[in-house]
Amino acid sequence: MVPADFEERVYTVVRQIPRGKVTTYGQIAYMIGFPKNARLVGATLKHSKRDQITPCHRVVNAAGRLVPNWEEQRELLLSEGVTFKENGHVKMKDHFWQ
């Protein structure tokens, strides 16, 4: 069962991701004690405000793929120094935060 404060736990972790780093939905789920709920983390972030207080742009999937149809995400990451592979995915080995 997912606790009532699940969303706040997710946002608390996202707010800790440093500039120039990214993490994954699965890593956030693991960090808050719900390792099998990566999709629920994604759904939570999908419905959040995209602002500077909660830098959702720093969350990608396990392969480093960006959120579909959110063109601004790449620009925000580039402005923080995040680098990408030729396929458009984040270079996770250089920028993964856990």
Instruction: List residues with catalytic annotation.
Output: 56
Separation CA 78–CA 34 (nearest Å): 30
Separation CA 80–CA 78 (nearest Å): 5
What's the residue count for the chain? Answer: 98
- For strands 59-60 and 23-24, give the pairing: parallel
